[in-house]
Amino acid sequence: MDDVNTPDSGPLPDFPPEVSPFDVEVERFVQLRDAIKAADDAHTKKTKEARDELEAMKARLLARLILLGGESVKTTAGTVYRTGRKSATIADGQAFRNHVISQQLWDIVDWRANAPAVANYIEVNKAAPPGVNFSIAYTVGVRRGDN
């Protein structure tokens, strides 16, 4: 019999009799995962030169846009344009918190619940903190056997 370890998520569904045993399912899972990885690796290897060339071209095109002082250039072949991704990281958490609170700059901060801390809170208090929704999404992982 297969070892069964289930979270407390209620009764398991009834499976039709044609569902194969766990060892067959896990073996096929590992085979498919290996086949997909091999195909992905082959594709990555096959397209490496083209990807490298595209990255070099992107760097040259960005440098040219910067030299022109422009955001985009329209050509008969297409339009090249630059995009930016903004990033703000906190260098000094206490200084940032003090500034946000003292200036009431609530729009420059994201308030989110810390999932592991909320899980601990629920374990101790048997309920989520007020205003917080908490859930656990389960998925499946498969480790290769020793054979």
Per-residue pLDDT of the chain in tens (147 residues, 90 and over written 9): 344 455 555 666 676 667 778 888 899 999 999 999 999 999 999 999 999 999 999 999 999 999 999 999 999 999 999 999 999 999 999 999 999 999 999 999 998 999 999 999 999 999 999 999 999 999 889 999 887
pLDDT at 2: 46
Alpha-helix residue ranges (DSSP H) falling in 47-144: 48-68, 93-103, 115-125
pLDDT at 79: 97
Q: Which helix (H) or strand (E) holds 22?
A: helix 22-46
Length of the chain: 147
Domain ranges, ordered by start, for the chain: 20-70
Reported for 100-103, long-range contacts at CB under 8 A and 24+ positions apart, including other chains, are: none
